[in-house]
Amino acid sequence: MSDGPRRDDKAIGEQIQRTGSSTRAVHSGERDDQQTHAVTTPIYQTSTFWFENSAKLRALQEGHDKRDEYGRYSNPTWRAVERKLCDLEAAEEAVLFASGMCAATTLFFALLPRGGHLVITSDGYRRTHQFIQNYLVKLDIETSVIEPADTNQLANALRDDTSIFFTESPTNPYLRVIDLPKAAEIAHARGAKVVIDATFATPLCHRPLEWGADYVIHSATKYLGGHNDLLAGVVLGSAEAIKPVREAAGVLGGILDPHSAYLLLRGLKTLALRMEKHTRNALQVARWLEGNPAVRRVWYPGLESHPDHATASRMMQGSGGVVTFDVDADFDGTCRFVDACRIPYIAASLGGVESLIEMPALVSFWDLKPEQRLELGITDSLVRLACGVEDAEDLIADLERALKAI
């Protein structure tokens, strides 16, 4: 009895690369590289890999064979994640890390020379800024800070020795979106690499590499994992660009464990479904908040009132699931509002199926005096809401009731 025609898994993989984002999120990076024929990529819980003979090891060392050698350099489970993310992000190579911060710090160590210079934006994740201010200075690296989305300031800040222009897009917490093609043109003319942290957008809403960026970073802890149950990060780019980052990862050792890679791979399969709901919920909530008299201002790129709405509309397919707003209250009144919410958890982070709410002044900037927070644009009445995948009507009803507690 015939076994029937053999399926060409490589051809199937190439066909999948031409499909829609949801299909690629489910199938990319696994089908044509699966050795066990399991539908779900296994957890390869091992620290090292053996060779049949010295010739096999020599083939690896000479670059003739691509396979796993040691768990600090690669693992089949997280290589499947890297392949899937490359397909979604339109990148040639990716490197997984133990966290988003580990991804960013390793990239900085890999690319910045001693005594070098980089340009960053004032609005951004505070821990990244703290690493730059507290640790990169030990390498005599100078940093220029510009206003978000201001390409004129970028042009003026760049120097002949500038190695990197780094920003988030959208930024945290005000969701600023830079004109990336223009920024990349300006930076590249001065020899600087462009690094974009696109955690808030995901590859489903924004692919910076297609707009001129050299590197894109994600905290995979957030939307890519999607369930608040893992820590991970990733850096993506061209094969040439990623080479020094991968080498640095092998030396510094901030790699992802196989079980977390498995959870991330599972989460990615529903990324397109989740992002559609996150984004739809956020837009509905943002529009409702903007019309509420108890709210002074709302920041969401999908709103025409956002300063970068036109830029976001041109470059992004959806504005993500985070809404930042300023309530008409003092610090204590804002605390009462947050405490009165029943659906969102009071918690840091974002991107999971559960809605999360926080006051930046109380979470990320609590160690600073109020006047120091104000210098950074962080008011006592600022609230960041990461919309989950609940029903938008329920989120709005909960917010409406909680605002009455002010």
Residue 222 bears catalytic tag: yes
| Distance, CA of 384 to CA of 111 (rounded, Å) | 32
Residue 125 bears catalytic tag: yes
Q: Please report which helix (H) or strand (E) contains residue 117, including its range.
A: strand 117-121
Marked catalytic residue, from 125, 215, 223, 262 = 125
| Distance, CA of 379 to CA of 254 (rounded, Å) | 35
Marked catalytic residue, from 32, 68, 72, 161 = 72
Closest CA to 158 of 122, 128, 193: 193
Q: How many CB atoms lie within 10 A of CB 396?
A: 17
| Distance, CA of 289 to CA of 398 (rounded, Å) | 12
Marked catalytic residue, from 79, 176, 222, 274 = 222
| Distance, CA of 235 to CA of 60 (rounded, Å) | 24
Six-digit token string for 112: 């910045």
Q: Would you give the end-to-end CA distance of the chain in angstroms?
A: 76
- Pairing of the two strands 295-299 and 93-97: unpaired
Beta strands in 148-251 (DSSP E): 162-168, 193-197, 215-219, 233-237
For 82-95, give one letter per residue: b (16+ CB within 10 A) or e.
Answer: bbbbbbbbebebbb
Is the distance from CB of 319 to CB of 387 less than 8 angstroms?
no
Residue 84 bears catalytic tag: no
Marked catalytic residue, from 197, 257, 308, 380 = 197
Six-digit token string for 189: 């003319």
* Residues with active-site annotation: 72, 125, 197, 222
